[in-house]
Structure 1
């Protein structure tokens, strides 16, 4: 297979940055979506394509067209940009929910829409959506609003999986628990006990390399003992 190409949003930090670095060292060509583009220090060969991407601006079509002009193909989408407003469903206002839905759900859908034909072209396109265990259960009232959007992310993944199956597109919702990123620094858990973003990256590489007849719909990763998760 020719060198594969992945588009990764939220690639400047956290899980997105870890995935990007991991794939880079696996030989992938990368188009990195960042609100403020900055070439990663590990890209010493200048192989990465950088795009000024804001998940609230509707730039997905432009990003896909620019990546295609650079690489000529798209094999995987990994929308990693995400936000969380720590409010329960009663105290939150519609603007709080709309902001999270825009970044966590609508932007990944638009990116898949823009890249759908290139993903179909080689019969083995891959879509990895960064969901959460909060997309499978609501563990606390304070995370209820965030959980609503991540349940929608999981539903989006299954919808893409159903739609793209016959064309070789395989979609997976990666659902981690508490990950050691900027988003969780105020959580009541030592960083050393949280999931390392590099472990998420390694899991994504595993999922991307699975053949079409070994599809994983949901991939759950946790750092604490919970029934079924």
Structure 2
């Protein structure tokens, strides 16, 4: 199950998964159109709004009804804002946390029985290097939400360990996507950023590891940046 798979990193993850024979259940805001290049025989499309607190359970139920199992969830859908941590209104903060933190937790909660049942369930949370350090005033509020998302990945890893569930927080810097371009503010060329297909490759490699090779965090950067 993959949220936000119609473009950017999520789309590349869907492509990479299908190249390895995975059936992908996509949660999209507009499920009426199959993203170009995806195999219709290996794709389910479901309406998914990360701000709707009943969306995750409905999506999980539909996926289980179709396939009878869930092996991996990838919480990829996310929201970026450059609003000041001081100037942001509560509504904007709530929306940011709803999409970047609460929706992934709800997805994990809804899918948990299936992840536990398979004995090797996998959870991938798309965090950010902004969740490891606050690099600028413009990214501060976004960083707060991604710090929380990375904490969620660690919490899920501990919660599911005895049942064979492994969770990883993927923490890229700037990636050559629409969100990456917005975050860079036209200062960094797309060709200099990490490419989304590289993130997808790492996600598929890590979720394919055995239960005895757990990776809690994966940091990916396009530049030298402190310890990252």
TM range, normalised to the smaller chain?
Answer: over 0.9
2:142 maps to 146
Taking the aligned partners of 1:45 and 1:19, their CA distance within structure 2 comes to 15
Q: How does 1:23-102 map to 2 (within 5 A)?
A: 23-37=17-31, 38-58=33-53, 59-102=55-98
Unaligned segments of structure 1, at least 5 residues: 1-6
Residue-by-residue CA offset, 1:54-97 (whole Å, 9 max, x unaligned): 10112000100000011110000001100011112111111111
> What's the TM-score once normalised by structure 2's chain length?
0.96
Q: How does 1:117-132 map to 2 (within 5 A)?
A: 117-132=113-128
Taking the aligned partners of 2:51 and 2:41, their CA distance within structure 1 comes to 27
1:103 maps to 99
Q: Does structure 1 residue 222 correspond to structure 2 residue 221?
A: yes
Are residues 41 and 172 of structure 1, via their aligned partners in 2, closer, same or farther at CA, if it must alter by over 3 Å? same
RMSD: 0.9
Q: How does 1:182-221 map to 2 (within 5 A)?
A: 182-186=178-182, 187=184, 188-221=187-220
> What's the TM-score once normalised by structure 1's chain length?
0.95
1:41 to partner: Cα distance: 2.6
Unaligned segments of structure 2, at least 5 residues: none
Taking the aligned partners of 1:201 and 1:44, their CA distance within structure 2 comes to 17
Taking the aligned partners of 1:64 and 1:76, their CA distance within structure 2 comes to 11
Residue-by-residue CA offset, 1:146-197 (whole Å, 9 max, x unaligned): 0000000000000000100000000000000000111122421011001100
Taking the aligned partners of 1:56 and 1:12, their CA distance within structure 2 comes to 18
SS in 2 for 1:149: helix
Q: Does structure 1 residue 12 correspond to structure 2 residue 6?
A: yes
Taking the aligned partners of 1:45 and 1:75, their CA distance within structure 2 comes to 19
SS in 2 for 1:46: helix
